[in-house]
Structure 1
Amino acid sequence: MKSCLLLLYLLLVARLAMAFYAPVKGMVKDKDGNPIPGVTIQVKGTSLGTVSQPDGSFTLNVPDANATLVFSYIGYEPQEIPLAGRATIDVTLAPSSSQLEQVVVVGYGTRRKRDLTGAIGSVKGEEITRQPVNTATQGIQGKLAGVQIISSGAPGSQPQVRVRGTGSMLAGAEPLYVVDGVLTNDIRNINTADIVTMDVLKDASSAAIYGVRAANGVIIITTKRGQAGKMEVSYNMSVGWREVANLVKMANSTQYTAYLKDVAPNAAIPPYNVSSDWYDAILRKGFQQTHNVSLSGGNDKVLYYFNVGYLTDAGIVNRNNYDRLTVRSNTEYNITKELKFVAQLSFMHNNTDYVDLQGIYNNTYRAAPVIPVMQNGKYGNTSAFGNVGNPVLTSDKTNDNLKENRLQGTTYLEYSPWTFLKLRSSLSVNQGNFNRKRYNAKYLNDESTFLVAGGNQQRPESQLTIVKEQGTEWLWDNTATYQQRFGDHDLTALVGFTAQKYSADYVEAARRNVPSSSDLWYLIAGDPNTSTNTSDGDKYARRSLLARINYGYRDKYLLSASFRNDASSRFPSDNRQGYFPAVGLGWVISEEDFMKNSDRQIFDFLKLRGSWGRIGNDNIASNLYILTANSGLLYFFNGVATLGTNLADIKDRNLKWETTEEYDVGLEFSTLKKRLTGEVNYYNKKTIDALVNVRIPGLLGDPDNEYTTNAGSFVNKGWEFTLQWRDNISEDFNYTFGGNLTLNENEVTGLNQGQPLFRGGVGQQGPVTQTASGHPIGSFYVYDAAGVFVDQAAVDAWVNKDGQKLQPTAQPGDLRYRDTDGNGVLNDNDKIFAGSYQPKLYYGLNAGLNYKGIDLSLDFYGNAGNKIYNGKKAFRYELTDNIEASYADKRWTPTRPSSTDPKALLGSTRASTYFVESGNFFRLNNVTLGYSLPKSWLDRIKIERVRVYLTSQNLFTVKRFSGFSPEMVSSNPKADGFLSLQNSTSPLEAGIELMPYPTTRTYAAGLNVIF
């Protein structure tokens, strides 16, 4: 009986308490009248709050009829509205004009930029889509401080990205990509038209929540979702062409013949009266087009976004083509007020025709101009002239096709039993199939194929190679987020558990003498006696525990702390665990009374922040610590033959995490009525226990073998500066301009085993880079060239301290080299460090204006302080290789004794500073001019928006490098899987131009229509 009375009493108290709460209802819309779901509505000074429904409506019980409601949402200016006794309020939110008020995506959540304690940069999707790029990362080139993008002109290629310098020697230097929760290292399947924002987590504090895969930064991509209201249909398209942005001019027949008479006076010049332009023979203007159709809309139960995109890009090299089809479906189901189900799925199919840069592009540079490309239907026989093979023949007789399918998606359930608690469980899948078929046709060195017989360019048997790979990666995330405001205190706490697994299978097989008809390109059609095959695979797993707390007091004292425990199967069991803490502090100085009450207040917003964190890296092969053995080996014991086993290689059984530790200090500000915003950052990022390949001493086996171990450490430290000016002159006219600058210093601080790492082989010159303590990773290590011997007197005068000739076999016209160690002999000890490919600074500039319906934007990009090794110029195996026209005009001759360029460049020419050139450049990266039709016109035909535009990418580049492009990135993906796709150029050998795919210039026109 007592319990019943107590229950009755509690119900009565609760009912009386509710009597003091009055319901307030309303709608939240944008300036165009569209409802905004998910807006946070809170009673100011209390923890009471709710969120708007998909139709924009809300209901909130308010304890005081004179209370003030605070409305806030991503990308919109917050509003505070006093109730003044009203029971119904309709609110219109305006887009945020301040970057500091905008919300950015962080790991497993979002934060207002003003509340961040870490370094995070953000780019809106509309800034990316206005550029004619195939991959989203290329669209943010030059837009963010601390983020370096190195792009290639090859269709379907992925740009190389460096966040705050080179973060690893061996364990992958690329950032982690997170696409709607899917973790990946390849975003070529993402249609740029689907992107809302790209947020880059640059420092360890902000990226540490992703633990093991975040050592090189994190790029979070958020794709579009539907909005409640009527269905919106949009169509976007562009058409245009690409061409070579810069082409190295090669010597014509006259220049080449004069050179050949000097270096090979006995060479027989072919009787053809031609001057072939080999680049003209293999290059073209490549047509490109994109088409995107999207549908979006929804109601209070379902929100949807659906897009289909099609892209074609004909490369500038003949037979190099790329086609891509993408489909995306993002759907959100509100099952109940508390329970939501979201499915975000994407599919990509691409079809790529590759060209063999080794056999085609390299040979184009070297091919003699005195040989015709083709004549009377027959190929010019460059190989009969002691030269390279005919690159056009190689191209015509090779078919290399790749077909790839990718399915990527995330589904999750989100349950909010109370407004302050959110429980989420998501499953992400990244699955793909990789099928490559390469057919090398048969051709013989006879009159039926060549103008003249002879030489060595022939293929007596055709060969078909087929590569198949399939891979699957899944990630299971479970998180609980608590978010509450208690008066002046704002607290958000996150805990979670994640599990991940990856598996892939790789098979490659080949047969010869396969018929030439493409209908018969199957292995069974070839000679079974010529079969070769190999297979491989990979499998690994990760498990992680994570936690994070964000705390704010009175919106001016900020704290963020996170911890992540990772376990990776890529390390031995004793070293499998990794622990990665991070902490960040922020002080919003502009909220202090001494700033607010100042008569001379300069800053609208001023924040000082600092952070520290540690992150791991396990991006290595899964079997580097596993010993393997060769069995069935014959050896003799006491004169008796016995079968035995030996170890196949040497492995480090104590392999452990490569760890990056970073601290960051930043200052953010806004002034002049929020028209000028800026940011200054200093960072110091140290990588310890760096994974490197160390040479095995000859005493232990083959001296050419290497093994992987934790043997290095290095540091990246620098400054980042960002300024942006935005102003509205009138309702019809606004403009913006700004820029960013990054200063970065990379230095190897230790190689535990004292062995410098030599890489970057260039023909007979051998390795041209060395990674050693006290120098940047991948520094050029070459002889110091001191000009050219102009005459015999100069040869005789080049002596050591004892009066002996330093180069006794030298002749006038040869390069001369300094005896840098002063021992009187030229040897490897005289090599010097001559810079690296890593720039000391890089920057971006941007400007834009909008006047009525006209919009114009300009983006510039550049870097300075880096070097490039002109390897193609040094790579000479044959005397009959062609030369560059500029060298032909400047080289030493008896009648023109140059002091800068030698008389001949031969295979025996030493690797020296003569081939090291400046990598500085400044580029107009993009210019776009658009026009949007007036709203009054469009209302008559029931269309929301029509915009037409003209755009150009890489319109001009100012550079000092004599090669094709100061940007170099490997263009062909390795055939080791779509999930493990990486640029094959190692940081230890970056910046060597051997056979580059030239940077391209693009001209395009486009149309955007919204119905």
Structure 2
Amino acid sequence: MKQKRMLVFLFALLAAIYSWAQNNSTIIISGTVKDKEGLLLPNVSVTEKGTSNTVITNEAGTFRISVKNRNAELLISSVGFQPLTVKAADNISIVLEAKSEELQEVAVVGYSSKKRIELSSSVSVVSGEKLRDVTSNELTSLLQGKAPGVVVSTGSGDPTSGSNVLIRGAGTINASTAPLYVVDGNIGGTFNPNDVESVTILKDAAATGLYGSRAANGVIIVTTKSGKSGKAKIEFTSTAGFSEATTGNFRLMNTQQLYDYQKTFFNPNPAALNTNTNWWDLAFRRAKVQSYNLSASGGSDKTTYYISGNYYKEEGTLINNDKTAYNFRTNISHKLSERLKVSVLLNGIFTKDTYNPDATVYDAYLNMPFDSAYNVDGTPKDARYGTWYGRDRDNFLHSLQYNFSKAKSFNMNGDLNLDYKISKHFSFATYNRARLFNYRSDAFYDKRSKEGATDAGALYNSTSFTNKLLTSNRLKYTNNFGNHGITALAVAEVEKTFAESIDTYATGLPPGRPVLSTSTGEKKTISGRVDESIFSKYLAQADYNYSNKYFFVASFVNEYSSRFGKNNPSANFYQLGASWIISNEDFLNVKPITFLKLRASYGTTGNADGIGDYAALGLYSISQGASYAGLPGAAPSQKANPDLTWERMTTSNIGVDVSFFKRIDLTVDAYNRVSTDLLFFRPLPATTGYDGVYENVGSIRNRGIEFNITSKNFTRKFTWETNLNMAFNRNKVLSVNQGRTEVFTGARQPVAVGRDMDEWYMPVWAGVNPVNGEPLWEKLLTDADGKSYVIYTNSYNAATRQYIGKSAAPKFTGGVTNTFAYNNFTLTAFLNFVYGNRVYNDSRFYFDNDGLYESYNQMQLAKGWSRWSKPGDIATHPKPVHGRTDASNASSTRYLEDGSYIRLRNIRLSYDLPNSVISKAKLSAVRFFVSGDNLWTLTNFSGVDPEVVLSGGESSIKYPISKKVLFGLNISF
């Protein structure tokens, strides 16, 4: 009996021991965390539910956590993803769903990549796919209307010309307003738009400040495509179509219209009615556009590659004008070991451009329809001889038989990058780039042409060579522990630029012999120059986040530039930023709001662009003009300024990111940017012996609000997504140094304290006197009490030049994109718009001149316009007077027009072949598409196109932009 009791006791003891062991032993659970696209997610919190036991996934998205029993539950959470609770299990695979796909976009910000959701800065991300809905070989034109606060304006339809980019308004007078471009982690670089993976646009100081002196106007970061391990992917894209010049509301008169108009003030020759030449149609054409791109990518666990080649050819809509570009890229990365990775990136671009002289565009507008372009035998007529009604006696068709203007260039960039993992927390990277750029242009004017006759044939050659060397060395510390995340970065960077050029000019060349050695003229000029500059930078940055709710960033930059005076060659800049993801707080439990984040930043940046490499130095020119005893001498040519220093921009930014119902994403930013120590070339009196001197003068403020909203309107079999972005910016001149209140006095847009920098200043057009048809302007007078009042005068010289309260800067800009998809069809329509700017239509001086020049063709009156013909007429145009002297077409608000417009920038329809069809051909994707660019524009502007370079706001004799229709095929296998 006693023995039996002992056995029962032993069994009970063993059961107790087993139970205690089960409750007190730990179990190791491992797993991986991915998003729905299969990408591994680092820095994800894995918490044993009901405890403070937390681990963080590593860079490979894996984790290991000790739990007390196998029935434990794990809470998986990460910034921007829906939290998920799962039961503990061995080798568990977890997939997280994003709260907002837009906020999961990866932004490259200052030497590292982060998700937008983690940033305290104002940034915009444009994917490569969204860029390629417009066909162009220039990234800038592809960005138009794609991001709030980024204004892209094109002053010409010439395919060899580029676009102007302005981010958050102009904050300088003389210096450059262009943003800084960063390609694949290094400042500068080249790329083909087809190779772009994404574009990140940095707008506030917390983001741009890391790039120091050249980031004052914003930063555009381009990341090119790279290979991924796995099966090789080959992709081919072919695009071809045609383009035509847009004419907007503008129409020129034909022979009958011009003859009837001239009869009201002049006695034109009736023989002119025998000819009706449309010079516009002779100058412009339906042009061809074609682009072919082939790429291959793939790799293994150790080596990845991306290789591409592109051919692009765009004929200008203007005859004898085209652009041809050949582009290749090779991006290769190889893991030499588990810790060391080497990357080699090569990009080369060879271009050939053919230019048409400006005279062709000029003649297209102004040549008379009375003049015939061809002789009886069909050859182009030489306008210098025989009957010719036009003022300039110029026939571009005759000149283009003999003359040419062309250029070619080769641009090569090579990057060698090393990334080394020193330890678990420390890494080192060195990014190095060499750039070689060669350029040559030739312009030949045959002695048989009007342009070459004076010099008996002339040839201009220009050759330049540029070399840039850059090294950027980066030490990084990263540590995630508990609810804390810390990243620290130190950077040392140096860039050196060397450039040289030589220009030659020779005369007396035989017909059709554009070679310098054939010159027989006495006039032969050779000039050249050499430029060198150095930039260096030291950077320290620290990032901290707590519990994926609170984010802080601080950075400090010291930069040196050889461009500035010996007293101020270097400058310090700093940046601060913070953000709070409120939606991760327990107290915010509002179901419609799936994400809410507040951001704030403050900091300084600098500007060193827009001045020469030797702007601060005292320079001498050696020439025969300063000769002594027949020997060339040296004379002062530039006054030194040893105190010349950086422009400085101080920017504050407040932003909010919010998502509703997982369907609507809204981003709003408000900013204030003050630019001080503006770089300015101040003219000096002639008695000083200098033209002027570069100085730091004055300050300008830009303020604005931007917003971007994306909504998923339908998400089932039929999908519809809308994106709208808008930006409002206002600028104001705060000060001008040297006790002045204005610079550029007398200009149409002087820079004056208290005014918009782009405000127009000119006589105010008061219309037409209905009694006699004479022009009227405003004249401001002051009474005895000091009050101003207005009278009207018919004397232009007596009219008062005044600020009119209208600006070349728009009140707001933006873009809207709608994407519809059903089955395998996708339709995308993208419109961009500009509102509230005033454009000075300078070209109306010539072809809307009220009879001043009877030898120029004239424009047809726009809708709503009328011409005075008898007493009592209420008209927009005065009575025409032959050779008039009352300056009705002089600079005034008469030619200042509303530049607002909305444009269908692109519409694109694509169709993807079903997998059941393409799998038989062993293809992975086949897409057909048709697209149209600039097919429709709504505007009241009377010229060919309201789009102008907004920082200037003038539209002169313009090469109009083109509308395009393109057809394409994309094949992947």
1:669 has 2:658 as partner:
yes
SS of 1:280 mapped into structure 2: helix
How far 1:719 sits from its partner (Å)?
A: 0.8
Asked whether the equivalents of residues 135 and 190 of structure 1 are also in contact (C-alpha less than 8 Å), the reply is: no
SS of 2:130 mapped into structure 1: helix
1:947 has 2:927 as partner:
yes
Report Cα offsets for 1:183-234 as digits up to 9, x if no partner.
Answer: 23xx7x5222111111100111110000111000001011111111111111
Report Cα offsets for 1:500-543 as digits up to 9, x if no partner.
Answer: 111111111121233444xx532112226331121123210011
Partner residue of 1:12?
A: none
Partner residue of 2:146?
A: 143
Q: 2-side partners of 1:495 and 1:212: how far apart?
A: 17
Of 925, 934, 943, 2:914 maps to 934
Asked whether the equivalents of residues 783 and 910 of structure 1 are also in contact (C-alpha less than 8 Å), the reply is: no
SS of 2:220 mapped into structure 1: strand
Pairing 1:39-438 to 2, within 5 Å after superposition: 49-52=57-60, 63=66, 84-86=88-90, 88-90=91-93, 98-151=101-154, 152-184=156-188, 189-246=190-247, 248-262=250-264, 264-265=266-267, 271=272, 273-357=274-358, 359-376=359-376, 377-380=378-381, 384-385=388-389, 387-388=391-392, 389-438=394-443
Asked whether the equivalents of residues 43 and 68 of structure 1 are also in contact (C-alpha less than 8 Å), the reply is: no
Q: 1:169 to 1:421 in 2, by over 3 A?
A: same
Q: Given residue 136 of structure 2, which amino acid in structure 1 is its aligned partner?
A: V
Q: 2-side partners of 1:642 and 1:180: how far apart?
A: 52
Q: 1:191 to 1:800 in 2, by over 3 A?
A: closer
Partner residue of 2:22?
A: none
SS of 1:575 mapped into structure 2: coil
How far 1:833 sits from its partner (Å)?
A: 3.3
How far 1:1004 sits from its partner (Å)?
A: 0.7
Partner residue of 2:605?
A: 615
Of 819, 828, 843, 2:814 maps to 843
Asked whether the equivalents of residues 444 and 459 of structure 1 are also in contact (C-alpha less than 8 Å), the reply is: no
Q: 2-side partners of 1:515 and 1:609: how far apart?
A: 69
Partner residue of 1:521?
A: 514
Report Cα offsets for 1:414-449 as digits up to 9, x if no partner.
Answer: 01133432210110222211111111122267xxxx
How far 1:770 sits from its partner (Å)?
A: 2.0
Q: 1:627 to 1:172 in 2, by over 3 A?
A: same
Q: Given residue 677 of structure 1, which amino acid in structure 2 is its aligned partner?
A: D
Higher mean C-alpha deviation, range 861-870 or range 821-830: 821-830
How far 1:711 sits from its partner (Å)?
A: 1.6
Report Cα offsets for 1:670-689 as digits up to 9, x if no partner.
Answer: 111x1011011111111111
Q: TM-score when scaled to structure 1?
A: 0.84
Partner residue of 2:700?
A: 714
How far 1:123 sits from its partner (Å)?
A: 0.7
Q: Given residue 859 of structure 2, which amino acid in structure 1 is its aligned partner?
A: E
Of 671, 675, 688, 1:687 maps to 675
Asked whether the equivalents of residues 134 and 156 of structure 1 are also in contact (C-alpha less than 8 Å), the reply is: no
Higher mean C-alpha deviation, range 175-184 or range 627-636: 627-636
Partner residue of 2:955?
A: 993
SS of 1:574 mapped into structure 2: coil
Q: 1-side partners of 2:725 and 2:676: how far apart?
A: 29
Q: Which stretches in structure 2 are left out of the alignment for 5+ residues?
A: 1-24, 48-52, 784-788
Q: 1:78 to 1:301 in 2, by over 3 A?
A: farther
Q: 2-side partners of 1:832 and 1:610: how far apart?
A: 36
Report Cα offsets for 1:480-504 as digits up to 9, x if no partner.
Answer: 1212212111111111100011111
The two structures, once aligned, show a CA RMSD in angstroms of 3.5
Partner residue of 2:825?
A: 854
Partner residue of 1:449?
A: none
Asked whether the equivalents of residues 272 and 371 of structure 1 are also in contact (C-alpha less than 8 Å), the reply is: no
Q: 2-side partners of 1:207 and 1:636: how far apart?
A: 50
Pairing 1:754-769 to 2, within 5 Å after superposition: 754=740, 756-758=742-744, 767-769=747-749
1:462 has 2:463 as partner:
no
SS of 2:444 mapped into structure 1: strand
Partner residue of 2:470?
A: 475
Report Cα offsets for 1:67-107 as digits up to 9, x if no partner.
Answer: 99999999x96886868341x34566778852123321111
Q: TM-score when scaled to structure 2?
A: 0.88
Pairing 1:377-776 to 2, within 5 Å after superposition: 377-380=378-381, 384-385=388-389, 387-388=391-392, 389-443=394-448, 458-459=453-454, 461-517=456-512, 520-527=513-520, 529-596=522-589, 600-619=590-609, 620-630=611-621, 646-672=635-661, 674-701=662-689, 705-727=691-713, 729-730=715-716, 732-753=717-738, 754=740, 756-758=742-744, 767-776=747-756
Q: How many aligned residue pairs are there?
A: 919
How far 1:363 sits from its partner (Å)?
A: 2.5
Q: 1:949 to 1:796 in 2, by over 3 A?
A: closer
Partner residue of 1:15?
A: none
Q: 1:493 to 1:158 in 2, by over 3 A?
A: same
How far 1:834 sits from its partner (Å)?
A: 5.3
Higher mean C-alpha deviation, range 197-206 or range 504-513: 504-513
Asked whether the equivalents of residues 272 and 372 of structure 1 are also in contact (C-alpha less than 8 Å), the reply is: no
Higher mean C-alpha deviation, range 610-619 or range 457-466: 457-466
Q: 1-side partners of 2:352 and 2:773: how far apart?
A: 62
Pairing 1:6-21 to 2, within 5 Å after superposition: none
Q: 1-side partners of 2:408 and 2:146: how far apart?
A: 33
SS of 1:622 mapped into structure 2: coil
Q: Given residue 147 of structure 1, which amino acid in structure 2 is its aligned partner?
A: V
Asked whether the equivalents of residues 435 and 468 of structure 1 are also in contact (C-alpha less than 8 Å), the reply is: yes
SS of 1:374 mapped into structure 2: coil
Asked whether the equivalents of residues 599 and 656 of structure 2 are also in contact (C-alpha less than 8 Å), the reply is: yes
1:903 has 2:863 as partner:
no
Asked whether the equivalents of residues 42 and 50 of structure 1 are also in contact (C-alpha less than 8 Å), the reply is: no
Q: 1:864 to 1:800 in 2, by over 3 A?
A: closer
Q: Given residue 393 of structure 1, which amino acid in structure 2 is its aligned partner?
A: H
Q: 2-side partners of 1:670 and 1:895: how far apart?
A: 64
Asked whether the equivalents of residues 324 and 350 of structure 1 are also in contact (C-alpha less than 8 Å), the reply is: yes
How far 1:925 sits from its partner (Å)?
A: 1.2
Asked whether the equivalents of residues 685 and 715 of structure 1 are also in contact (C-alpha less than 8 Å), the reply is: yes
Q: 2-side partners of 1:873 and 1:563: how far apart?
A: 52
How far 1:916 sits from its partner (Å)?
A: 0.3
Q: Given residue 736 of structure 2, which amino acid in structure 1 is its aligned partner?
A: L
Q: 1-side partners of 2:967 and 2:680: how far apart?
A: 47
Partner residue of 1:880?
A: 855
1:891 has 2:867 as partner:
yes
Asked whether the equivalents of residues 39 and 72 of structure 1 are also in contact (C-alpha less than 8 Å), the reply is: no
How far 1:37 sits from its partner (Å)?
A: 7.5
Report Cα offsets for 1:244-287 as digits up to 9, x if no partner.
Answer: 1225211122232344345555x656656112111100100111
Q: Given residue 273 of structure 1, which amino acid in structure 2 is its aligned partner?
A: N
Asked whether the equivalents of residues 30 and 63 of structure 2 are also in contact (C-alpha less than 8 Å), the reply is: yes
* Percent identity of equivalent pairs: 26
Q: Given residue 368 of structure 2, which amino acid in structure 1 is its aligned partner?
A: A
Higher mean C-alpha deviation, range 924-933 or range 526-535: 526-535
Report Cα offsets for 1:666-713 as digits up to 9, x if no partner.
Answer: 1110111x10110111111111111122222355357xx333211221
